[in-house]
Amino acid sequence: MKILDEIEAAIPALRRYAGALVRDRDAADDLVQDCLERAVARRGDWRGQGPVRAWLFRILLNRHRDLRRAAPRPGHLVPVEGLFPEPSAPPPQDGHLALTEVRAAMERLPEEQRQALLLVVLEGLSFEAAAEALEIPKGTLMSRLARARANLRALTGREAKTKGRSR
């Protein structure tokens, strides 16, 4: 029963990661449900190597990739109901603006960089656990993280400030 307890303990982290990947609460819940169903059904396949949490993230990420491959590519026509209304005035809080800017910049990152960044920064996984969850070498993960961070600095206009500080 130990593995079931570890699976249950990882549910909040899986929900956060799924929410960040798909950016839709209902789709994220469905993705986590699929992940949990597969994990419980295949708990005998877990080899006991590494943390269960990394294994669950790998299942969730693989399911997300499968769903993206199967989904029709977005076209140029979008139903009006699917559009989000833009705010009439920007919010007055600087912190909220900065957060919105970073969120938009993260959405523009390549998928591989965003996945690596979310696992390490949002979920707090070690480099080894994140690399295992993404099924890539640790060096590749660190390279993706470096590129993701550099891209975020460039997309948010903070690149010039960090270059000046390093000298």
What angle do the packed helices 94-107 and 138-155 form, to 10 degrees?
130
Q: What is the pLDDT of residue 75?
A: 64
pTM of whole model > 0.85? no
Q: What is the pLDDT of residue 157?
A: 84
Q: How far is CA 19 from CA 15, 41, 65, 127, in A?
A: 6, 23, 14, 21
Which of 106 and 165 is assigned the larger pLDDT? 106
Q: How far is CA 23 from CA 19, 28, 43, 89, 147, in A?
A: 5, 7, 28, 23, 22
The alpha carbon of residue 11 and the mean position of all alpha carbons in its chain are separated, in whole angstroms, by 15
pLDDT digits (tens, 9 = 90+) for 76-127: 666 767 667 766 665 567 777 777 888 888 889 999 999 999 999 989 999 9
